Amino acid sequence: MLGRRQKREKWILLAPALALLALVTLIPLANTLWLSFTDTRISALPEPVHFIGLENYVYALTDPDFQDALFRTLYFTIVSVGLEGILGVAVAVLLNQEFRGRTLLRALIILPWAVPTIVNAVAWRLIYHPDYGALNSLLFQLGLISDYRSWIGDPATAMNMVILADVWKNFPLVAYVALAALQTVPGDLNKAAAIEGAGPWKRFRSITLPWIAGPLMVVMVLRTIEAFRVFDIIYVMTGGGPADSTKTASFYVYQEYFNYLRSGSGASYAVLVAGISAVLIVFYYSATKRQTAGGAA
């Protein structure tokens, strides 16, 4: 129920925020798009701009290195988000039980989330150190490995180790959302099922999981969007290596821009990556819409 003047006020209220966002995101986005149709390079001297139409895109889409980067990113995303989901839900189920020390444990798991991304990357890199790292020592002293390994120096294992570090930092978010959702499950449902003879796993699959699926889906899509654009942890832990085994899409673009100074072609890669992100964002919106429309939050 609004008066006429009040309806106009919304633009005044929104103006500063809109202006800033337009300046810092919309205009650069348009610029990047424009750049992608040129062959500009970053250089100290001004250079004439040549429009080359879709040439950059044709190259980008057929570039095997970029395709590899995309696949690696896909791998990283699916595995890390998948693990976060499983671990997060398992932890939530655990924390939903009654036991002594539960409150302390619930508070404790915020710590990985609170650790700055860079500190996380650096800490795990130290843990993975081939000569002095804690992981090697631990596994060796427990008799699980016979020799020290170069975890992030080995192309076969590097990506997985990065994934482990990332999952460690991010599973608490999933756990908290899952826990909040679990706490809304009416106790009667599980009791009724138990009386009907359903075992714990069946009860979990048929009652609990569907109940928390809504919010869980939303946070998983959110994590997917964030995982897809992973950069920071790669930069600090492995620098894209070894042998490009951890070079993800964002990292690829970064190199195009700031190592090879190819702004035009870099922009085309950036647009492609942005496009995929945009698709994921649409999934996020439909997931949240379904969640609010469906009711139980």
Partner 1 sequence: MNAAMPQDPILQISRLQKRYGDVNVLKDIDISMAPGEFLVLVGPSGCGKSTLLSCISGLTDISSGTIRIAGKDRTNDEPADRDIAMVFQSYALFPNMSVERNIGFGLEVRKVEETEKKRKVAEVADLLKIEHLLYRRPAELSGGQRQRVAMGRALVREPKLFLFDEPLSNLDAKLRVTMRTEIKRIHQTTNASIVYVTHDQIEAMTLASRIVVMKDGVVQQIGTPQEIYNKPVNAFVADFMGAPSMNLMTGTATREGDHLRLQIPTPDGPPLELFDYGPGPETLSVGGTAELTIGLRPEAMTDLGLRSGGIDGRSLQSADCLLDVVEPAGADTYAVIQLGGTEAVARLSADAPVTAGQRVPIAFDLSKISYFDIASGNRL
Partner 2 sequence: MKRSLVQSILLYGCALLLAAFTTGPLLWLAVMSISAPTDLTEVPLRWIPSELDFSRYTSLLSLEGGNGERFLSALRNSLLTAGGATVIALLLAIPAAYAFSRRQASMVLLFAFLATIMMPPITYVLPLYSTFSSFGMLNHTVTLIIVYTAMLLPFATWLMKANIDVLPVEVEQAAFMEGAGTAYTIRQVVLPLALPAIAATAMLSFLVAWDEFFYALIFTNDLSAKTLPVAIADFSAGRVTDYGVIASVGVLATLPPAILAIAFQKFIVSGLVAGSVKG
Q: Which residues bind partner 1 (CB under 8 A)?
A: 1-5
| Residue 28 amino acid letter | P
Q: Token match 């004439």: residue? A: 48
Give me the least distance between CB of 12 and partner 1, in Å please.
16
Give me the least distance between CB of 21 and partner 2, in Å please.
6
Give me the least distance between CB of 265 and partner 1, in Å please.
51
Helix H, strand E, coil C: the string for 144-168 is CCCCCCCCCCCCCCHHHHHHHHHHH
| Residue 204 amino acid letter | F
Question: Does residue 75 belong to the site contacting partner 2 (CB under 8 A)?
Answer: no
Which member of 13, 144, 156, 195 binds partner 2 (CB under 8 A)?
Answer: 13
Q: Rounded to an integer, what distance in angstroms lies between the CA atom of residue 32 and that of residue 263?
A: 9
Question: Does residue 229 belong to the site contacting partner 2 (CB under 8 A)?
Answer: yes
Asked if 39 and 56 count as a contact pair (C-beta separation under 8 A), the reply is: yes
Q: Token match 């009860």: residue? A: 203
Give the DSSP per-residue string, 32-64: HHHHTTB-----SS-----B-TTHHHHHHHH-H
- Choose among partner 2, partner 1, none what residue 4 binds, the Cβ cut-off being 5 to 8 Å by kind: partner 1
Q: State which of positions 238-297 bind partner 2 (CB under 8 A).
A: 250, 253-254, 257-258, 263, 266-267, 270-271, 273-274, 277-278, 280-281, 284-285, 288-289, 291-292, 297
Residue 132 has a CB neighbour count (10 Å cut-off) of 10
Which member of 54, 61, 78, 132 binds partner 2 (CB under 8 A)?
Answer: 132
Give me the least distance between CB of 53 and partner 2, in Å please.
19
Give me the least distance between CB of 186 and partner 2, in Å please.
16
143 SS3 class:
coil
- Choose among partner 2, partner 1, none what residue 29 binds, the Cβ cut-off being 5 to 8 Å by kind: partner 2
- Choose among partner 2, partner 1, none what residue 113 binds, the Cβ cut-off being 5 to 8 Å by kind: partner 2
